[in-house]
Structure 1
Amino acid sequence: MRPPIVVSSLDMERLEDLLDSLPAAQAGVRATLLDELARAELVEPHDMPQDVVTMNSRVRFVLDDAPREFDMLLAYPKDVDGAPDKLSVLTPVGSALLGLKVGDSIDWTRPDGARFDVTVREIVYQPERAGELHR
């Protein structure tokens, strides 16, 4: 059972545009993220709970209960620019994080079929919480 997720209407609109523009070679990524977005609770940016991972949020998380904690910005692919602290929403971990709340864990499948768990530890920065509703 996957935890419920919350996505802002602005993020949803931008993600749908992104997914519509993906080449056929990324059909699997597109389908996975579309499935996840289909189950999301949609809210307006000003109504976004402060403990939810939104686009352009900086989030601390762990994979498979490993001791190493990651601190990364969930970004659109065009904004990643090879930065080591940015994570594309089109990656398996990025897709898994979107819409989760602090404390939530989700079991996710990589393209090679391997499974992993991701757990949100903290939202370090969330644009909506900072009043940046139209970033």
Structure 2
Amino acid sequence: MRHDTCILTTKDFAMLEALYDRYSSTSGKWRALLYRKLDTVNILFRDDVPPNVATLNSRVCFRIDSGDADTRVLSHDRMTLPVGLLLPLTSLRGLALFGLREGQAISIGDDEGQTEHILLERVLYQPEAARMEREAASRATLPASRRAAFRVVSGGLDVSPSSDRRRPFSDGSGDPGPSAA
């Protein structure tokens, strides 16, 4: 696996392809980074994505160069509220963090010629991992809730040892008749 490889769910990959089509007329560092992400991606089903990968709507802690750590939620696009909480994929930093694993870093250049080194320190919350935890918890409680309302008891028929076991009914036909209904 290449060092600059990113990991995306099938849904996240489709979303990046849609962004690539939507912003086909744009140029610059963001589009080049988007192409780089699409070119170096490993696509996994959402159940197979490790919990330390930054996916859409993940809350991540990252550091730019040697600055202070910052925490944001990776979002699809710019939103009006809450200010300062979201980091959209339409921004260079949001796209750079998207698909990285904890401890993985990426260097990007902005449109002014400055290079930033972005390190994904930690994935604090990942929707796919949270869903897997919820499903595991529900499976743990499921058997108790699915207990049968009745029990099957062996030897429920009163058959004496001398009677024919192949014909347990009184007429010997093997058919319980209408009274069984």
TM-score (norm 2): 0.65
Residue in 2 that maps onto 1:85: 85
2:97 matches 1:97: yes
Residues 57 and 74, structure 2, Cα contact 8 Å, conserved in 1: yes
Which residue does 1:51 correspond to in 2?
52
What RMSD, in angstroms, separates the aligned Cα atoms of the two structures?
Answer: 1.9
**Looking at both structures, which has the greater relative contact order when contacts are Cα pairs under 8 Å and sequence separation is at least 6?**
1
CA contact (8 A) 1:6 1:41 kept: yes
Do the aligned residues in 1 keep the contact of 2:4 with 2:40 (CA within 8 Å)? Answer: no
Q: Give the aligned length.
A: 129
The percentage of counterpart residues that share the same residue type is: 27
The one-letter amino acid of 1:43's match is: L
| Cα-to-partner distance string for 1:73-124 (whole Å, 9 max, x where unaligned) | 011115x325211011121111110111111111111122210111111111
Question: What is the Cα deviation at residue 70 of structure 1?
Answer: 0.6
Amino acid in the other structure paired with 1:35: R
Q: Is the 8 A contact 1:2 1:106 kept in 2?
A: no
Match in the other structure for 1:17: 18
The structure whose residues are more often strand, as a share, is 1
1:35 Cα deviation (Å)?
2.0
- The runs of 4+ residues in structure 1 deviating greater than 6 Å are none
